[in-house]
Amino acid sequence: MKLFVFGLGYTAQRLARRLRSEGWRVAGTGGGEIAFEDEAAVRDAIAGATHILSSVPPAEGRDPVLARYGDTLTCAWLGYLSSTGVYGDARGAWVDESAPTGGGRRSARSEADAAWLARGARVFRLPGIYGPGRSALDRVREGKAHRLGIAGQVFSRVHVDDIVSGVIAGFGGPPGAYNLADDAPASQDDVAAFAARLIGMDPPPLVTLDDLSPAGRGFYAENRRVSNLKAKRMLGWTPRYTDYRAGLRSISAMTSPISARRAPKADSVDQ
């Protein structure tokens, strides 16, 4: 089996390591492998692939993979790492794959999501991604974490290894959209406070929305709980880390501050 990945970032590199350990051949753009602009090499790799996955987000209002290589994406299995940001603000309500998309602040992402679905891809909609080297533990250690004290504000999140298992489960599932999220949406404040307790530090400081960047304020302008029931039902997938506590405990037990700083660059998938 041969997987070609557009965008070997944080999540896709972990997927590649898992599949290579199981005998797959994996190649892709980024991560020191094939350059995205090297059309001859990319097209040659695509021609030999049994599975193709993209984790590349829109740029300048369009999907760069579809724009440049869309004519070559004829392989039997297509996958795309999308974002639960396509649902926009749900005022804290639960959303599933039947919820409307395109009404949020990420219109280009919603358009790319729809374009991959139209091609028969398995579109994995991801909330906030965390894992070794990229979690609230790192932000607390580095003094970058904060709390806002906004009542009722919740988000969903997913451990990177649960994305890996979800994509692999999707190899045998039908085309369509799938939310890959844990079972317990929670506030950023609760996550940051728990991470601080876990490593023996004081809770992060309270700040106001005015203290945040425009991107940070935009993040907190949306509020939703993401249902993972379709992925469980259709793909037979269950997250190993059912809530942030389980995920952060696992990361704390297996990583050190030094190894965390050496984590690979993150994917561009956004919430």
CATH at 46: 3.40.50.720
Bridge partner residues of 186 (DSSP): 155
Does some domain include residue 257? Answer: yes
pTM: 0.93
- Inside any domain, residue 268: no
Supply the pLDDT for residue 3.
97
Q: Over 60: is that where the pLDDT of 74 sits?
A: yes
Instruction: Find the DSSP H helices in the chain.
Output: 10-21, 39-47, 64-69, 107-118, 136-141, 160-170, 188-198, 214-220, 229-235, 244-254, 257-261
Q: What is the pLDDT of residue 20?
A: 98
The answer to whether residue 271 is domain-embedded is: no
> 41-61: per-residue pLDDT in tens?
999 999 999 999 999 999 999
Query: Is it the case that residue 257 has pLDDT exceeding 60?
Result: no
Residue 270 lies in a domain: no
pLDDT (average), residues 193-205: 96
Q: Is residue 124 part of a domain?
A: yes
Q: pLDDT exceeding 90 applies to what percent of the chain?
A: 84
Range with the poorest average pLDDT among 84-98, 115-129, 203-217 = 203-217
Q: What are 207's two structure tokens?
A: 């700040």
pLDDT at 267: 47
Q: State which residues form the domain around 73.
A: 2-261
pLDDT of res. 246: 98
Count of domains forming the chain: 1
- Distance of alpha carbon 224 from alpha carbon 44, whole angstroms: 42
